[in-house]
Structures are given as structure tokens and as C-alpha cells.
Structure 1
């Protein structure tokens, strides 16, 4: 457990505040994969009762950032190489189809939303805010699935997103590459969508999902 989670927090929406604090530590890599989330210790450090901590941990488990093991407790999620490979294989298919359908529609509102996420990634990279970067990254890909017009794509993405969040957070906590460069890679994906060329967009997103673009 990280020795100092931070200063005591106010007693307004405690579970939300505890969730945000612990989630931030997981996303940033300060809490490592496999590390136990000791509810009593978190409560002690934040000077709150265990009830809001328990609710916060449940949210993290639902989001895919933590795993609960009966009679042992909750832990920061770990991802096996097999799980990562399986998730990536499914993601390739989903994102290629989503990009193709969105490129065909060329929805201006969706493209504007995606541009906002790219800007959020750029700002987060400049500020060194890894958690905000990753949130903008996964939101970018969710928008692509939601905006394509195929009603099944957002449903499939909603099922996958908890696992993808876990994969993205715990599989690269020590990433030492260029976050700004990664933001520009997403700008390139957006440019592919703007061409209104479904084949090009699909190929670009499939390559990104396969990890062929550095930092994917």
C-alpha cells in the first residue's frame, strides 16, 4: 500500500472522493498490479469509515481496475499475457468495424467530440497527467464505437470496456515513451476518419488495436 494516499478529505460524497483518490493511484501506477487494497488502511489514511471505502472498491472492481478474491480481499487488477492477447484480438475486430462505419457517416458532431479527446490527451501529456490521458484515450475509442450507427457496437464496447481499462492501466504502468507522441497518433486516427475512406480508417484503427502503432 502506498504510504501516504493524501490529506484527509471532506465528508461530502465520501465514496466518490475515495473512489477518485484510489482510482488515481491505480491509473498512475502508484498502486501496482496485484497490490492489495486494504479497506481499513485506506479508511485510516483518509480518516473516513470503511463503508465509503467499501463502495469505492466495489466500483473499481466493476470498472475492471481491481479484482475481488473471496476470503482474501480486493487487489489491483493483474492481466495475464493470454488475457491481453485475447482482448486485443477482439478489439481489433470491433474497432476496425467501428472506424469503417463512422468514416462512412462522417458525423461532424462525433468528429468534434473526438477532436476534444485528442486535445485532452495533448493537455494531459503536457501536464504529465497519466490518469487524465488514459481516460481521454479510452473515451476516444468509446466514441468511435458509439457514433458509427451500428447499435450493437456500443453494447459490445460496454461489455469490453472494464477489461480494456484494466489492460490499459495495469499492463503499461511503467510506460516510458512519449505521451505527446501517443496523442498525435490519435490525431492521425482522427485524420483517417475525416478522409471518409472506410477502408483506410478501418486499416488504421485495426493496426492501432493490434499494437502496430507505438503506444497503442
Structure 2
């Protein structure tokens, strides 16, 4: 393989973390597609690292719900079903709404400035065609929001489903026009936080997640319909 874009550079960050981040980005950007088998030997060649490093990263990806291990096939990229997406969005809406409320009420000056900077970066990255930059900026924004909530239990609950949230976030942001609507929804969240209005922040976060959910579920439903139609066509031609 001559594609060197996934190769890990020799920098200070732990090698395992670098490998994990490269593979996670490849999955969330759909370079590795849902259901695709991940072969360790090929990943070692793509990344330029040992099989041990790849295996450690794969275990971390599995713990975050980004891949699943299938008997006799090995690891494959996870597929989020429509039913699972509905459940995830129900939980995410409540948790992120609570995070917004707590941040508005508890965050200190430094955390508020950090969130402001993250939102400004979102505005910049959302003007680019690079889907991974938009996704990374949005993920960073929410990491700051969670930290500023000051609630470790809340952060732990969100971390447990973070991998699948990232997959769904990538799905919703892929919809034409969604980025601009997202910016308007985030502006509403920021206004509530700036006003230190916990109730308004709760409502703005809740509405934002529900809006994203509607887009993602529509895309997943269309995917399922297309797959069903293709399967019917295959059976007719068999």
C-alpha cells in the first residue's frame, strides 16, 4: 500500500493514543465504512506501527462502540441502527441539556473564555469543506461544555456513548445545510450561557440535539430503505 495519509508521526504523544486517534478519525470520516472489516496486517502497513499498537487501539475503539468483534471475521466498523440511534439521542438530549444548564450556572471565567474560543473555531471550520475539521471542532466544543459542568457522573455517562455519538454527529453534519442550522442552534446555546440562564441553556441544548436527531434518523431510514430495496432486487435476480 502506498497511501501514507494514515501513517503515525513520531511526536511526543503516546503511540497508542496516536494510533487510536488516526483510526477513530478514519471511521468517523467514513474512510472506513460501517460494516467494513479491519484487517490488522493492513492497518499496520497503513499506520506504520506494530501489531501490538494496532491491537491496543482496536480494543479502545471497541470500548467506545466504534467497532465490534465478529467471530471468525475479527473487528468490523460498527453500524448504528435506526432503533439504536433513537435510544442514543433520547439519552444524549437529556445529558447534554443538563450539561448546558450546569455550565451556564457553574462555569468559571476561564472555562467561559475557552468555550467562546471553541465556538469561534467552529465558525471557522464550518466554512471549510473538510468534514473531519467540522466534526473535530464540534467534539472539542462539547468536551469543554462537559468539563465546565463540573459533574463527573454526567461526564462518565456521556463518555460511555461518545463513540456512537460521534458516528451519529458525522451522519447529521453530512446533510446539506445542516452546518448552517447547527451554527444558529449553537449561537442560541451560547447566548443562554452568556446570560447565565440555566433554564434557557437547557432548552437550547435540548432543541439542538432533537434537531440533529431528526436529520440523522432521516438519513438512517433512507439507508435502510435503500438496503432493503437492493436486497429485494438481489433476490429477484437470483
- TM-score per shorter chain, which class? 0.7 to 0.9
Q: What is the distance in 1 between the residues matched to 2:103 and 2:134?
A: 23
CA drift of 1:126 comes to: 3.1
1:112 — aligned with what? Answer: 113
Q: What is the distance in 2 between the residues matched to 1:165 and 1:67?
A: 16
Structure 1, unmatched stretches of 5+, are none
Q: 1:116-164: CA deviations, max 9, x gaps?
A: 2212222322343322322331232233233234443223222232332
Q: 1:47-85: CA deviations, max 9, x gaps?
A: 544232222222322333222223321111210111111
When residues 41 and 191 of structure 1 are mapped into structure 2, their CA distance, relative to the original with a 3 A threshold, is same
Q: 1:10-47: CA deviations, max 9, x gaps?
A: 56765444434333322222221111111112223445
Higher RCO structure, 1 or 2 (CA under 8 Å, sep 6+): 1
1:147 — aligned with what? Answer: 148
Deviation larger for 132-141 or 196-205: 132-141
> Residue 197 in 1 paired to residue 176 in 2?
no
2:157 — aligned with what? Answer: 156
CA drift of 1:89 comes to: 0.8
Q: TM-score scaled by structure 1?
A: 0.80
Contact 2:93–2:205 (CA under 8 A) maintained in structure 1:
yes
When residues 110 and 43 of structure 1 are mapped into structure 2, their CA distance, relative to the original with a 3 A threshold, is same
Q: What is the distance in 2 between the residues matched to 1:209 and 1:82?
A: 16
Partner-residue secondary structure (3-state), 1:68: strand
Q: Which is higher, the Rg of structure 1 or of structure 2?
A: 2
2:35 — aligned with what? Answer: 34
2:225 — aligned with what? Answer: none
Q: 1:162-184: CA deviations, max 9, x gaps?
A: 33223323x34743335355345
Q: TM-score scaled by structure 2?
A: 0.74
1:6 — aligned with what? Answer: 5
Contact 1:29–1:173 (CA under 8 A) maintained in structure 2:
no
CA drift of 1:113 comes to: 1.7
Give 1:71-90 correspondences, 5 Å limit: 71-90=72-91
1:166 — aligned with what? Answer: 167
- Count matched residues: 214
Contact 1:98–1:153 (CA under 8 A) maintained in structure 2:
yes
Structure 2, unmatched stretches of 5+, are 217-238
Q: What is the distance in 2 between the residues matched to 1:174 and 1:55?
A: 30
Partner-residue secondary structure (3-state), 1:29: coil
> Residue 103 in 1 paired to residue 125 in 2?
no
Partner-residue secondary structure (3-state), 1:35: coil
- Structure with more of its chain in helix, by fraction: 2
When residues 174 and 206 of structure 1 are mapped into structure 2, their CA distance, relative to the original with a 3 A threshold, is closer
1:44 — aligned with what? Answer: 45
Root-mean-square deviation over aligned CA pairs: 3.1
